[in-house]
Structure 1
């Protein structure tokens, strides 16, 4: 019971502060002491249970929520901060720390602790908890993903988030979840670069400024003494600068076309050649708020990887054919004819007669042009 008495002593200052501020009454603080004593007594039993810790933490969370509502309703000044301003949250962290000393192997408990710290805005603590959790459970993908997400949201550090996901992939090469999140990270990175470059006014093509004037994007100089048509009179330094600028523009163009994302997708396909991976990556790319050009380039690469990796698989052919008819807004017009032709050709190339027959049957039951139905039926092998 010594531990129970110690915890009772620790709560005296905060309860006194809560009463002085008018947040809780004396009667209410006595009830708080009684409830906490019961929880502490359960924790010091010879065989404590995880549910005892969780019930205790849930009680402290509800108590903190009540405190905040009363502070807002009674318009109690929040500055300067006093011990009761943070003691209830600190006690929640303390309960989870005690729980994890007994249940280190419980991944769910680590994740609950991380989410609690995130909710309370304890950024530094989140990083430390993630590091400890990953060290104990290197084979758990969700921990790497949580840690990478924290790095992106808290510190806006794509490099740190990428390093965490790369480490997670090395430890969990066959995890579809890990590869999916890596692709998502690179999509976010490219989109953030695009927006940053737009703000900075960086455009594709050379924009080097020479000593005699400004380049106009075609290798010519305005306002200098060089010949405007031939470019004669340029120094070696200017020529080298132009080459470097062209190389930089080419690199930026490749990044904007998804070169980094494509590399990750290719690596993922080599490690996990499964349709579950390709479906997840397709969903991530389609749902991400990226530019249309980037999305089309990445999806084109993905479908090429699917064809080269699982070209004869029925589900893979279904994906390759289905991409053409996905998102059709109408069953009439040139758009439908072209889409069905491309999808039909995918099935014909695959040689999957049964799947092709099901595709033809499905579309013949739809309200499409009779000539188009006849084309599909005639293309089907008997």
Structure 2
């Protein structure tokens, strides 16, 4: 091990001497660098090397190289000849990455860090080797294929190599959605660059019959306006400059063939390659609607994509005829980019009318509650967005008509009842909103959200408890395991007590009744299920109220009664311990109060440990007990 470290250190001598001769680092700094590198090298040579040691070493060398460059600029060191110290630091960082990747080949994050470092240093040749090694080690990682293809296209202007990488990646990862999307984007960017170059050269409106005219206009090669494009191969266009006589054959082509090569009719410039990618993609991943919708989103960043978008829409219509989400997406497509359009524009009105008409056909062809919900949600979305009074009135009437029709046909979902009531409330029609919420709970008595909305709309004047109490009773009868309904019910009870509408005995009876109802519910196997939290909720609220109404003595009497008559969970005991702590903080009776509280806490811990017999739970209680006893002492 020592021999290897010594060998590496000896290799640094010429570089360090060069740095000292140039005055970039002093002799003391050189010694510090050697000492630091020696420490890192020995760390890398231990029996079980750690990845973090390599990364710290690489980070140190990166900082050292950055410092060297800054000092070289500050000292104004100029030389026509590149010396050893100018590249030795970067070379060492590469060497560190190579060493760590020999030991941790399966770490994709390390490969990505290596790639980013090489990109930052503009090491084009090295990057090619890195990508090849990374892909060889991780052929099923789409991100590596995408990065490699992007680098080939954007940095090397090599569309052929980028396509090859994407196609190879897709052969190995045919179900990777990200690979298909990025390959699709690659072809669109390629065509967009060709269009931009044609526009700069002023040939975008002229008939083009050859590759030479498309790719190489007669212009100055040093023109700043030139856009470097990847070379277009002869497989895509006819080469007019061929000396075998094809030039004469091109001149004799039929008029229809010549027309096909005009910009407006050129299949490549119309996005044929992207459409081919899409067709292959939906064969590989046939039943994924979000996957297809993403292609539309990608098209939004490019120009002249109407033909491609229409093909995607047609494929969705063909392959998802009974899918309500797909039908809704197709119906709303006329306003898919409406965020970029002024809603007062006549085109917006035209698009909105088209959407409404198509949604009308959808609910007729696919009459389901989901389809009607998509329709009403669409109308509600735009009703909230528009500001023009006429448009808002049109959407409100359309929405009301849709709700009534769906209700008549028994296709109105709980979510639709909620949005209907919300719309009426926005229109200041509280009475009708209450009526709709009531109809919703009658139709869907198990809908917690509908009951919550109905209760909120039915808040009576102060003191009229008897008008609202039956709503809570009926809601909890239909949804006995709803944590939300029990929470708002208990909050309402305490609020009525605070406002002196309910007396102490009334509230105590209500809490006792609530405990009886929640205790009889069967627990769920899921520890996070609401039904498992109900009993604790009611018991803890009961104890908290007792402490507020009668002080700690009443709270102790209540939780002692609960413990003797029920089987609380550990969280209940923990809440009682917190209550005792809070009472001791507020107490003024000195040691006597502290002693009583300590005895009660010890009893609570003893009861809690009996319930929580699991080893991990007991350890937690031991820790909490130690902290609590420290607090009392």
Length-normalised TM-score, structure 2: 0.52
Structure 2 gaps of 5+ residues are: 211-247, 407-633
Contact kept in structure 2, 1:204 and 1:249, CA below 8 Å: yes
Describe how 1:1-382 pairs up with structure 2 within 5 A: 1-198=2-199, 199=201, 201=203, 203=205, 205=207, 239-240=252-253, 245-249=258-262, 253-272=266-285, 273-287=287-301, 290-291=302-303, 293=304, 295-325=305-335, 326-328=337-339, 329-350=341-362, 351=366, 352-366=371-385, 367=387, 368-378=391-401, 381-382=405-406
| Structure with the larger RCO, 1 or 2 (CA within 8 Å, 6+ apart) | 1
Contact kept in structure 1, 2:209 and 2:261, CA below 8 Å: no
Cα deviations by residue, 1:89-145 (Å, 9 ceiling, x for unpaired): 000000011111111111211121111111111101111111111112111101111
Aligned length: 352
> What's 1:221 paired with?
none
State the superposition RMSD in angstroms: 2.6
State the secondary structure of the residue aligned to 2:311.
helix
Contact kept in structure 1, 2:321 and 2:327, CA below 8 Å: yes
Cα deviations by residue, 1:245-292 (Å, 9 ceiling, x for unpaired): 3453389621222111111112212222323323432332223xx33x
State the secondary structure of the residue aligned to 1:24.
coil
Distance in 2 of aligned mates of 1:134 and 1:166: 13
Change (3 A) 1:246 1:8: same
Change (3 A) 1:206 1:364: closer
Contact kept in structure 1, 2:175 and 2:284, CA below 8 Å: yes
Distance in 1 of aligned mates of 2:251 and 2:271: 31
State which drifts further: 30-39 or 327-336. Answer: 327-336
Distance in 2 of aligned mates of 1:82 and 1:173: 49
Distance in 2 of aligned mates of 1:202 and 1:269: 32
Distance in 2 of aligned mates of 1:207 and 1:261: 22
Distance in 2 of aligned mates of 1:19 and 1:348: 82
Distance in 2 of aligned mates of 1:206 and 1:15: 61
Cα deviations by residue, 1:70-100 (Å, 9 ceiling, x for unpaired): 1112211153100000000000000011111
State which drifts further: 94-103 or 68-77. Answer: 68-77
> What's 1:230 paired with?
none
Distance in 2 of aligned mates of 1:296 and 1:154: 30
Distance in 2 of aligned mates of 1:205 and 1:29: 67
Contact kept in structure 2, 1:269 and 1:309, CA below 8 Å: no
Change (3 A) 1:195 1:363: closer
Cα drift, residue 178 of structure 1: 0.2
State which drifts further: 272-281 or 41-50. Answer: 272-281
Contact kept in structure 2, 1:206 and 1:242, CA below 8 Å: no
Change (3 A) 1:77 1:343: same
State the secondary structure of the residue aligned to 2:266.
helix
Distance in 2 of aligned mates of 1:201 and 1:116: 41
Larger Cα-atom Rg: 2
Cα drift, residue 310 of structure 1: 3.0
Length-normalised TM-score, structure 1: 0.84
Change (3 A) 1:369 1:358: closer
